[in-house]
Amino acid sequence: MWGRLPTFFYSLTLPRDNVNDELEHVVVEGLDEVGYDLVELRKGGSRSRPVLEVRIDRRDGEKVTVDDCARASRALEARLDSGSLVAERYVLQVSSPGERPLRTSAEWRRFVGRWANVLAPDFGGRFEAVIGEVDEHDGETVVTLRPEHGEAKRIPLAAVKEARLAFRF
């Protein structure tokens, strides 16, 4: 009984653990060439319309303009289109950081004197304060935060669960 055997087709996608690291590396290099820093990189959208969201900041501390976003977008498109780190068709969104996250001690130092929204459960939960001095104490980085009302708080950065710059008008 020789006949045709049934044929089954299936698709297998293997995870690539290093895709995010590779992608971030390519984006950081592309932004570096045109003088910008990466603040945040996120992949989203859907399979049919993948979106790559890139938030940038200027190294001179000035506000990011539409022209800055366009310049960064052109630099990234050239790099991303030449590789295989993103889908053949994707949407690239480059924007200013807005209420950018504060993650490193260097970022905290850079924004001394600015307002931040801070979540520190052991130090009063969520509050808004001016970023004060950032220094080392007993081997850990400590920031002084001055809320609009109340006493200044010295908080180890390790105790800060989340922080973002706050825009006040």
**87-94: average pLDDT:** 80
Beta bridge partners of 68: none
Q: What confidence tier does 16 reach under pLDDT thresholds 50, 70, 90?
A: very low
Residue-level pLDDT at 34: 95
Cβ–Cβ < 8 Å for 163, 117: yes
- 62-73 pLDDT tens trace: 888 899 999 999
Q: How confident is the model at residue 5 (pLDDT cuts 50, 70, 90)?
A: very low
pTM (2 d.p.): 0.58
Q: Which of 56, 43, 151, 144 is CA-nearest to residue 95?
A: 56
Which tops the pLDDT comparison, 106 or 15?
106
- pLDDT one-digit tens code per residue, 146-162: 998 889 999 999 999 99
Structural domains in the chain plus CATH codes: 19-95 (3.30.300.70), 105-165 (2.30.30.100)
Q: Which residue has the higher pLDDT, 30 or 80?
A: 30
What pLDDT is stored for residue 6 in this prediction? Answer: 38
Among 42, 110, 34, 38, smallest CA distance to 67 is for 34
pLDDT of residue 47: 80
SS3 at position 52: strand
